[in-house]
Amino acid sequence: MARSPRISLAEASRTSGGLLRRGDTAQDDPAHPPTLGDLTESLFFSPGDGRIWLQNQRMVLLHGAAFGHLRRELIDTLGVDKARGLLTRTGYLSGARDAELVRSRWPDGELLSVFLAGTRLHALEGVVKVTPLAVDFDKLRGTYEGEFRWEHSVEADEHLAAYGVGTECACWNQIGYAIGYVTTLLGQLVVFREVECRATGAAACRVIGRHAAAWGDVSEDLHHLHAQGFHSPAPRTRAAPGPLAPNEARATRTPGELVGASSSFHSACHQLARVAQTRATVLFTGESGVGKEAFARQLHATGPRASAPFVAVNCAAIPETLLESELFGVERGAFTGATSSRAGRFERADGGTLFLDEIATLSLTSQGKLLRALQEGEVERVGGSRTLRVDVRVVAATNVDLHEEVRAGRFREDLYYRLNVYPIHLPPLRERREDVPLLMDHFLRVESRRHARSPKGFTQRAMRAMMHYAFPGNIRELQNLIERGVISCDDGTAIDVPHMFRREQLPDELLLSVGTDGSLHREGPPARRLRDAVADALDGQPHPLHRIEQRLLRETLQLHGGNVAAAARELGLTRAQFAYRLRRGEQAPAPRRRQRKVEPDS
Ligand SMILES: [Zn+2]
């Protein structure tokens, strides 16, 4: 994950008044953020696209019985010990993720509320109802002790259903969660143990969490966590991502602006890494704004030519008449205005990389000259007679289908094959939506620094809008939205939807969120009033009903290419009704602009 400076717990307690380096449950004020309401708001459903989000993390609604079945099969096939370890570690990951979520979303949250948020999230996620009996911690002395009552444990329910009352506590996954949550927040291993469990016939489960040192021997607990090497100070160097590397970066983060964790992004990065060390020509394809230049720069920076120049040319931005002199240089006196000799981009990129963006916009003439330069490794300045040898790695990019351009006769086939040695497709942002939060975090820091502003993250509403926005302009548009947000928002407050989006940009997808009363309700940008839309469409002119009707009839007819039957169908009218209304409108009192008579379908 893009790493932001974390507020340490000591700092967090300072920001909340400076006193709370110690805490116990008596000090718990349910009104301190994150409140149950705040946490509930973090959970939202997006029924149309098959996803559920907890803030920026994807969740899944699993049937309790299916969980029970999986758990039983694990025990039956792997044995109790292995199954228990697996479930404990899975729980640990959930707890660690929730702790990261709370810490990044509420960096200034009061320490005790932040700790107890884990109990509330665990309940919200439908796992167990947690009642804190005692929580006592002292950051300075490095101690933690907590005792909790667990009711409605789904794991105990399923264990009982499968095996009946036994002699061993059974809430392994939940113990893992508690360890993961508190350990991730505290940065030190806190071990939870279940001392009573419904699976052994108790009325409720009871768990105790303590600093590892306070327990004495925790080897049994660590065994289930696979926690070898936990105390090693460099968890990021672990070969395999173990459960006890809560701070491990979850995203690839390379120099430049390549930020993301999605599989399609990873796949492009993997291809990039593979080809960077060679001198192969690379062709980047993808929509505008997906970051083709950033990838090209990264290719250059990680390849053997990194110390030589990287020269970028946007072929679409240079007028055709100047393109040749831009690319290949010009000798003094070659044409009017060429008052001095000047090197072209090819020469300037000698030994390095030449990035040709929007390659498809080159004219056929320019394509021919480019091909010659590529084939012969030589360029000749405009008006010059010397040939200059250049050693350039060419990287090209296009947002159109070059193969299609070749078929249409607009692009030279030989140049196409010359460039298309190693194509890398960069996916549009809407296909790597899980990267949106990472990119938001990245550009929030970039733009805040650039404009010397200090907004406090994003509101829940803004987060939701971004997660559902289509981003036709891809990453560039996302960056623009955030830049606008950073500039429009006051320091110390969170960036909200109106800071970033103009009204007409607002996403209109169905967003359901869970209210604090447990009901699902629609939440999204306020629906635009029909009346306002009509006023806009008629340029604010007076709009009596018959004018609106005429406008609607005519526009619909136009959309259907003059086919009255089709237009009538769309408006729920018969062909005759449609024709009648249209005729009636033409006889109506003088509209300001006389519309052209529309012929019925031929
Ligand atoms: Zn239990």
Q: Given this model, what pLDDT does residue 188 score?
A: 67
Can you give the pLDDT at residue 187?
64
- Please determine, for residue 365, whether its predicted confidence score (pLDDT) is greater than 60: yes
Amino acid identity, position 583: R
How many residues does the structure list for the chain? 602
* Spacing, Cα 339 to ligand 1 middle (Å): 85
Cα 85 to averaged position of ligand 1 atoms, centre (Å): 16
**Contact (Cβ atoms closer than 8 angstroms) between residue 265 and residue 19:** no
First to last CA, the chain: 61
Cβ-defined contacts of 533-541 (< 8 Å, 24+): 541/592
Q: What is the pLDDT confidence band of residue 259, given thresholds at 50, 70 and 90?
A: confident
Cβ neighbours for 271, distance < 8 A, ≥ 6 positions apart: 422, 424
Higher pLDDT, 413 or 30: 413
Cα(358) to ligand 1 centroid in Å equals: 61
pLDDT of the residue at 258: 75
Q: In sequence order, what are the residues at sequence separation of 6 or more whose Cβ sits closer than 8 angstroms to the Cβ of residue 459?
A: 494, 495, 496, 497
Task: Look at the alpha carbons of 531, 534, 536, 539 in this order and tell me if their dihedral is positive or negative.
Answer: negative
Mean pLDDT, to the nearest integer, of 322-338? Answer: 84
Tell me what the pLDDT averaged over the chain comes to: 80
In a 10 Å sphere around its CB, with 0-12 CB exposed, 13-18 middle and 19+ buried, how is residue 151 labelled? Answer: middle
> What whole-number distance in Å separates Cα of residue 341 and Cα of residue 533?
58
Give the model's pLDDT for residue 249. 30
Which domains, from first to last, does the chain contain? 9-30+62-237 (3.30.1380.20), 263-426 (3.40.50.300), 439-513 (1.10.8.60), 530-587 (1.10.10)
Q: Where are the beta strands (DSSP E) in 12-142?
A: 22-23, 43-46, 51-54, 57-59, 129-138
Q: What value, to the nearest 5°, has the Cα angle with vertex 457 and ends 455 and 459?
A: 115
CA 482 to each of CA 122, 431, 438, 496: distance values in angstroms, whole numbers, following the listed order: 32, 20, 13, 10
In the reported structure, the alpha carbon of residue 45 is separated from the centroid of ligand 1 by a whole-number distance in angstroms of 29
Q: 540 pLDDT band (50/70/90 cuts)? A: low
pLDDT at 17: 32
Between 298-302, 309-313, 518-522, 563-567, the lowest mean confidence (pLDDT) is in 518-522
Stretch 359-375: mean pLDDT: 91
Distances (CA, A) of 14 to 19, 107, 113, 141, 185: 7, 12, 14, 16, 16
Per-residue pLDDT at 353: 96
Q: 14 vs 50, which has greater pLDDT?
A: 50
**Choice among 18-27, 150-159, 406-415, 473-482 with the minimum mean pLDDT:** 18-27
CA angle 178, 179, 180 (to 5 degrees): 90
Ligand 1 centre distance from Cα of residue 127 (Å): 11
* Span from the CA of 511 to the centroid of ligand 1 (angstroms): 35
CA of 259 to the centre of ligand 1 (A): 41
Ligand 1 center to residue 87 CA distance, Å? 13
Q: For residue 261, what is the DSSP state? A: -
